[in-house]
Structure 1
């Protein structure tokens, strides 16, 4: 990964996104910096996926701006954006009977080097990181949902972009692989990537994320360190939850326990 400036690396200001006159995001401000693992939290329909798609430039806001390395997003070509921001969409399918290695190699398309030594090395490394290297020769359409999810994460990682935006990457994974992927994302952030991940699991978010932001009905309710943001008042107001708080081996987390009547 090439060194990048840390000054306001990916920033959204006053984002407003509409669909059929329905307000999906309303005045959202966000900063994502290298070294951060940002958990994007909120109930169903809060605007989490919309926020990631707006940060990518896939959705055009009615109001507000997105800047990448202090340049308006629209000044970057699609290829330049794809080299700098990798995206793992929610519930992706693979519609061709390709070997896993070839699917992961699609992550090198922005660089155009999937079949060069540099590209092949990036592909192999990404498969190892996502724990799918043993599947390299398998037909991707024969994989389980969890195996396919790891392959698609590897495809995003093969891009070697300094920013990774992942939308519910844990949804199809068993508990062991959920822990593996969250620890991997944490390590990538520690090595200088800027990572934003949409999560529904408050326990994993509070344990692994360096920052969390909470959306409710398209508005940003809070952003900050998990221990500061996920207090009892917010958890009741946004999620209608009472939680247990746990400390284990120096790590803290919240565990959803009861729904308020």
Structure 2
């Protein structure tokens, strides 16, 4: 897949960073967005450059349509085109329905749902035969804990949206698929790992690199006949 270009929204840490680096290892040049940690984004760019690929980090809030459009334009200006787009940016706010604020509701709708819809800016620049991959959540299948109703709703919306977008883009041979991770060990979940481990039938939490490997498959030629699918990777959590 050398000579192709990927863009990872939310690519400065966790699953997004692992995905950006894996795609670079697969031969992609990579543009990635971040919101608040330019140092982490620079580390990912450095890792990609170390693999012999070009990379650019762009500050862009996925809740801001203008920022996303500008980020796509900058990525294409620097790297020439887009072949793969990965939408990893997302936010999580937890509270029971009695305590959930409208501000947090609006934030999660803006980033987790509207932010996926904003791939329309990327699609306009994408070559036919490209790939769109969203990072959802296994909570779209089963919530399992109090306080996660809104987050689960947003991820279920993504899984449904992917099916419709896949039909819209099928004439251009652009596939659209959704990856639904369960408990994954990142810097944000480190303190929760012991509790999460006990909930997973395989007896461990996943690694960001394992999610990235599934994204790699979906971005490659062997997945060209798969579209509109949601693939759960969670150690059996939702079984």
**Shorter-chain TM-score tier:** 0.3 to 0.5
* Bigger relative contact order (CA 8 A; separation at least 6): 1
**Larger Rg, first or second structure (1 or 2):** 1
Structure number with the higher strand fraction is: 1
Normalising to structure 2: TM-score of the pair? 0.34
Structure number with the higher helix fraction is: 2
